[in-house]
Amino acid sequence: MDLAVLIAIVAVAVFVAMFLAATVKVIRQQQIGVVERLGKFHRTLEPGPHLVIPVFDRVRYTLDMREAVVPFPPQGVITEDNLMVGIDSVIYYQILDARRAAYEAQDYIKAIEQLTMTTLRNIIGGLDLEQTLTSREEINQKLRVVLDEATGKWGIKVNRVELRAIDPPATIRDAMEKGARAERDKRASILIAEGQRQSQILAAGGEKESSILRAQGDREAAVLRAQADRQAQMLRAEGEAQAISTVFNAIHAGEPDQALLSYQYMQMLPTLARGDSNKLWIVPSEIGKALEGLGGSLGSLTEAFTGSDAAPARDKGKFKAPEKVDVQAEITQQAEDDAKESERIVQAAIAEAQELERSGRPKAPSLTAPSEPRGIGPGQQSAPTDTAPAAALDDQPGPEFTQPDGSQLR
């Protein structure tokens, strides 16, 4: 008896537990429960605990109200230019009405997939391959509008449609890659040509400036060489004039007679005949006169020694022996004069620089050097024949030199 009562109590407890479990339903957050009573829609259950009548009420659907993402496999679509492309799409949707989503469409996911496929074929069929590849945003917008309009009666809203990939045929991809590679090579060639052009322009400009500067330097160097040659020729002419004058005075001061000149003439004859290539030597016609002069001189000397009348005294004339030229003293004096002149120029430059610092105004420096050519030997002047050409050259404009302060110096 006690066992039967215990079994009955356990059975009642199990029945009560099952009844309570069938009566109390808990709906999780972001979900909606659709309740049917005797096979007919009765109500929807919001998140939280709810009481239903067992056996009569049943929670047929539990729908997730969050935004869901559904990727679709690649679909083959033919473009307007009869090219097959594979399009991989993804859709973001959200359930707004649980009742419509449960009863208006048998399988709304499959329905959205088929609707997306047909809509893509319709849109891509009106575009060529290039437009398909470059109008992705436009395709997404059109597809979302069509899907949103079709799924609205299902209680579903399509928020966004994205085309993840548009894959043209392999041959088209190769052609596109070759075209892109050719375009990149073209741009690279253009950039290289532009760089070479700029480099050649800059190099030509540098060569032009270098040639101009080199020509200016050659011109100034030629002018300076011409002036140096002019001064050297003037000094050489003065030296030759002084040497000739010295020799001339020395000869006339020595008062040579006909015998001396004949003797000197006879001494030069061996020099004239000297040489390895001389095979034939012609005796000059003047040698007889020289011998006659030399014989007359010897006869005069003989008469003088034998007691005959004395030889007539020679007239010393107006010539006298030239003064001795001390070349070393002249060089020393010239060096001292140059040192003094250099010191004077330096002091003048220092004074003008100090004047510029005090006044703050630019002023062209006046660096002057003696322009009178100096002769060689005491009391000698420059040759008068070079005075006019020197003045003419001095009147011509000389080369201009730029000072450190920016002024021009001729």
Write out the two tokens for 402.
């730029």
CATH of the domain at 119: 3.30.479.30
Report how many domains make up the chain: 3
For the stretch 161-172, pLDDT in tens is: 888 888 888 887
Query: What range defines the domain where residue 80 resides?
Result: 68-168
CB 116 within 8 A of CB 70: no
pTM for the full predicted model: 0.41
Specify the range with the lowest mean pLDDT, choosing from 130-134, 256-260, 283-287: 283-287
Shared domain for 88 and 107, answered yes or no, is yes
Shared domain for 50 and 131, answered yes or no, is no
The confidence band for 399, taking pLDDT boundaries of 50, 70 and 90, is very low
Shared domain for 72 and 54, answered yes or no, is no
* Spatial distance between the Cα atoms of 160 and 162, rounded to a whole number of angstroms: 7
Q: How far is CA 343 from the centre of its chain?
A: 47
Single-letter residue type at 54: P
The confidence band for 189, taking pLDDT boundaries of 50, 70 and 90, is very high
Write out the two tokens for 90.
């993804």
- Statement: residue 198 has pLDDT above 60: yes
- Of 134, 168, 202, which marks where a domain is finished? 168
Query: Parallel, antiparallel, or unpaired: how do β-strands 48-51 and 84-95 relate?
Result: unpaired
User: What is the rounded average pLDDT for all residues in the chain?
Assistant: 76
**Confidence at residue 82, expressed as pLDDT on a 0 to 100 scale:** 84
Q: In which element (H, E) is residue 324 found?
A: none
Shared domain for 89 and 132, answered yes or no, is yes
Instruction: Establish if 304 belongs to a structural domain.
Output: yes
Shared domain for 76 and 134, answered yes or no, is yes
* Spatial distance between the Cα atoms of 23 and 28, rounded to a whole number of angstroms: 16
Q: Which neighbouring-strand residues pair with 51? A: 24
| Neighbour count for residue 45 (Cβ, 10 Å) | 20
Give the closest residue to 407 by CA, choosing from 354, 364, 345. Answer: 364
* Spatial distance between the Cα atoms of 244 and 381, rounded to a whole number of angstroms: 15
